[in-house]
Structure 1
């Protein structure tokens, strides 16, 4: 899987001293960004159902190492993770932030095919 898009993930980190969450950014190069436009009908009303699917290869270049949520909680400055409710944007600094809804791991097949699929809205 080869792609040239860039995305930035913002992981929430809780600071017990200040008693609030901070966002830590991680830039990932080599992702595939796919926007899906849709709509749904509910009780005779039309609702927007747009989603974005981001495919992140395991081999993508990132400013931090990927860690499962437990590793990330132990050492958040060294790792990034993928969790629902964290934020993601297309590009490095500008763009509309989206909320991550779900993450699917596809760790089978060759190294070139292994990736995460992130669904955001």
Structure 2
């Protein structure tokens, strides 16, 4: 049984190292039909009220998913057929047609400034039929 309440599409930016150019690059993949849940957590401490936003995304298991380690070992020609979920990767709520090249105006900072719901993956929990991805 997969994700029941599908309320969003997402765009994942998987980070990988390109040995040919000696730089970090990002591959963009759009996933349709996920469950996106955002919330604001509050904690009262001796320093006052601390607020933090967090997001939980439920993604059905798909045939083109592979582990982060396997993804990093793929050739450029093979990599375009797959996606992964790893801490440090970026997810944007919605289908986004924005390619990260590392050159202004197509950098990570530009992505975060251009779109409202951009998160960093903090953890991934693989269950039998879906993934639970937590991000901030």
Fold shared, TM-score > 0.5 on shorter chain: yes
Residue 47 of structure 1 aligns to a residue in which SS?
Answer: strand
| C-alpha RMSD of the superposition | 1.7
Question: Deviating runs (4+, > 4 A) in structure 1?
Answer: none
Which residue number corresponds to residue 92 of structure 1? Answer: 95
Candidates 56, 72, 81, aligned match of 2:59: 56
Candidates 10, 13, 16, aligned match of 1:13: 16
Find out whether 1:116 has 2:131 as its counterpart: yes
Find out whether 1:77 has 2:80 as its counterpart: yes
Which residue number corresponds to residue 38 of structure 2? Answer: 35
**TM-score, normalised on structure 1?**
0.82
Give the paired residue count. 111
Cα offset, 1:4, TM superposition: 4.1
Q: Matched residues in 2 for 1:85 and 1:106: separation? A: 20
Unaligned runs of 5+ in 1: 108-113
More helix by share: 2
Contact 2:17 2:72 in 1 (8 A): no
Which residue number corresponds to residue 111 of structure 1? Answer: none
